[in-house]
A and B are shown apart, each in its own frame.
Chain A
């Protein structure tokens, strides 16, 4: 069956440009998370969507970061005016529901800001 997919797999951009990262979730998995993983670091929670509930945005590092998800469909993470410290792998994960134990990750988008 199809897993979580993310696009693009790699993105190189110049400082100050905006980027949009996409996550295609597993059908029927209502919970969706975005994480950031810097080189050699652990996973950093960014944002969480559960169905039609208000998203938990408490992990977003600044107002340059935003994410959208309509219902249980595709999610996009947008970073405006990118900075070099935004360089990282951005991972999207799905879970069956709010109380699910296992998160299924996409392959990530490797963002490099020059």
Chain B
């Protein structure tokens, strides 16, 4: 089993749609979790951290389920500019040394 696994994608959705991505991780002792966004041929950028209580940033909601070892990202009211690859990232050691990166889920929002 891979350390971090994501929905295979790609997701093609119309503008205004709600889309959800899931990510599972294998190390139950993992400490912190993140969603990064990577545009085509660009570097990754932090989208949001994922907290145990769940957190929301505008149209984006991230949730963590430690018991089932998965995190999710929900995007409401999709915009064309949301088209990107979304990377699930797990810090198994809590010291930000070797983040484990998922392969990413590609999202295309269509007009």
A56 contact set on B, CB distance < 8 A? 97-98
Within 8 Å of chain B (Cβ to Cβ): is A101? Answer: yes
Within 8 Å of chain A (Cβ to Cβ): is B108? Answer: no
Query: How many residues on A have C-beta within 8 angstroms of the other chain's C-beta atoms?
Result: 22
Contact (Cβ within 8 A) B46 A42: no
A108 in contact with B43 given A42-B103, A101-B32 (CB within 8 Å) = yes
A106 in contact with B43 given A42-B102, A101-B32, A101-B34 (CB within 8 Å) = yes
Most B C-beta atoms less than 10 A away, residue of A31, A103, A108: A103
Contact (Cβ within 8 A) B42 A107: yes
A102 in contact with B46 given A42-B87, A42-B102, A42-B104 (CB within 8 Å) = yes
Within 8 Å of chain A (Cβ to Cβ): is B11? Answer: no
CB distance from B65 to the nearest CB of A (A): 20
A43 in contact with B44 given A98-B95, A100-B96, A101-B34 (CB within 8 Å) = yes
A98 in contact with B43 given A42-B102, A42-B103 (CB within 8 Å) = no
CB distance from B24 to the nearest CB of A (A): 15
Report A89-110 CB contacts with B as 1/0, cut-off 8 Å. 0010001001111110111100
A103 in contact with B46 given A95-B96, A98-B95 (CB within 8 Å) = yes
Interface residues of A in 74-100 (CB under 8 A from B): 91, 95, 98-100
Give the 5 A-B residue pairs with the shortest CB-CB distance, closest first.
A105-B43, A43-B101, A42-B103, A102-B46, A42-B101
Question: What are 26 A-B pairs with beta-carbon distances under 8 A?
Answer: A42-B101, A42-B103, A43-B87, A45-B99, A50-B97, A56-B97, A56-B98, A59-B98, A91-B43, A91-B44, A98-B95, A98-B96, A99-B95, A99-B96, A100-B96, A101-B32, A101-B49, A102-B34, A102-B46, A103-B44, A103-B96, A103-B99, A105-B43, A105-B44, A105-B45, A106-B43
